[in-house]
Amino acid sequence: MTKGRTLKRIAIWIWLGSVCAVSAHAADSQKLRIISWADYVPAEVVAAFKKETGITVELTLSNNEEMISKLRATHGAGYDLAQPSQDRITGPQRDFGIYKPIDLSKVKLGQFQLGLLDIVRRNTTLNGQQYALPYLWGTDGLVVNTKRAKAADYLDLCKPDLAGKTSIRLRRPTLMAFAFAMGKDPFALYSDTKAYSALMDQVGAKLIACKPNFKFFYDNKDQLLNGIRSGEVLAAMMWDTGGWTLNRENPDIQFIVPKSGALGWLDTYALPARGRNDAGAYAWINYTMRPEIAAKITKSVGSFSAAQNTGPLLDPKLKAQFAAAFPDSVVKAIHWYPSIPPGLEEIEGKVLDRVKAAN
């Protein structure tokens, strides 16, 4: 083979490689891979987004634990946008490097509620870089059939007259709720493993003593909703919009903000470290924070958007239920989950296992 032919062949391979690279990039820019929760990415919003931008959304349903596991296994590849809770970001990022910082210059920050932006900024900033933006939020409190039971705080689920008629989920939010109801602040002990472990042991003992009151530990929303509808369960620790759904069916069933405070969760937008379509991710973030789009998402999932100016677009009944449960003073008293330090979930898991195994 002559030198000229060799150079020509090399040039052809370089040209083919560049064409393939350009084609792959073009394909990536037309597909947005999102890993998120059920109902968070409504089909009608996906269709409207594609019509406006030409970008197809590919959705994978997941939860916090699975999101972290999948991104850890791929070193942050496989998805362009993830939606973990704000307390599950800096720990995994510190340990595994699965996210990339948010480029705030590409975000229409004026579309976000400033208070929620600030909460997420504080809880998802690591080494001076912010790794998430707020998407949806809600609270856990009490749902009570007020005609047949009385409960004003989480510990009331343990009252003798409610034996066999209450329910909780055997997960860490219940540990946090009972700790606050016992007059403690578990979040204030996050940096003191010994003190935190001692508090969790106390909470575990309280839950074990209360176990005869629990009709069941619920695993999914339908199980709990049906238990309350049937009258099998009269009071439960439960999320706000589930309680409001039941209230629309039966006015005697009400969502109650506990005296010790509601627990607030915030799910986010986060960019996986090796996502291939950041431009599409930012386009989706800005699109879904538009008030009219955010209102459609709220209708789909039942939880509240972090977007500004959605109030006039929401269902009037839902707005009234929210206003009744959360006047300004109560909103300010919500206990927002901070970022979880390493090791605490292992402590909690052992306590939950003891409660589950107790007779």
pLDDT tens for 152-165 read: 999 999 999 999 99
- Residue 168 has phi, psi (to 5 degrees) of -140, 170
Fold of 30-131+265-321: D-Maltodextrin-Binding Protein; domain 2 (3.40.190)
CA distance 242 to 115: 24
Segment 221-232, tens digit of pLDDT: 899 999 999 999
Q: Which contacts of 64-73 are long-range, i.e. CB under 8 A and separated by 24 or more positions? A: 64/88, 67/35, 68/92, 68/96, 68/98, 70/35, 71/35, 71/96, 71/98, 71/99, 71/272, 71/273, 72/96, 72/98
pLDDT at residue 23 is higher than 80:
no
Percent residues over pLDDT 90 in the chain: 84
Buried b (16+ CB within 10 A) or exposed e, 173-203: ebbbbbbbbbebebbebeeeeeebbebbeeb
Buried b (16+ CB within 10 A) or exposed e, 229-268: eeeebbbbbbbbbbbbbbbeeeeebbbbbbebbbbbbbbb
- pLDDT for residue 323 is more than 90: no
Domain chopping of the chain, boundaries: 30-131+265-321, 138-262+336-357
Q: What is the DSSP letter of 85?
A: B
328, burial (CB in 10 Å: exposed 0-12, middle 13-18, buried 19+)? exposed
The span from the first CA to the last CA of the chain, in angstroms, equals 83
**E strand or H helix that includes residue 164:** none
Nearest-angstrom CA–CA distance, 158 and 345: 25
pLDDT tens digits along 3-14:
566 666 665 556
In the predicted model, is pLDDT for residue 18 greater than 60?
no
The residue that leads in pLDDT, 159 or 320, is 159
Per DSSP (E only), the strands in 146-257 are 166-168, 214-217, 235-239, 253-256
For 138-262+336-357, CATH gives 3.40.190.10
pLDDT value, residue 136: 97
pTM of the model: 0.87
Whole-number pLDDT of residue 63: 94
User: pLDDT-derived band of residue 24, with 50, 70 and 90 as boundaries?
Assistant: very low
Do domains 30-131+265-321 and 138-262+336-357 share one topology? The answer is yes
Residue 248 pairs in a beta bridge with: none
Residue 332, pLDDT score: 81
d(CA 28, CA 80): 10
On whether the CB atoms of residues 140 and 315 are closer than 8 A, the answer is no
Cβ-defined contacts of 57-64 (< 8 Å, 24+): 57/31, 57/32, 57/284, 58/31, 58/32, 58/33, 58/34, 59/34, 59/35, 60/33, 60/34, 60/35, 60/36, 61/36, 61/37, 62/35, 62/36, 62/37, 63/37, 64/88
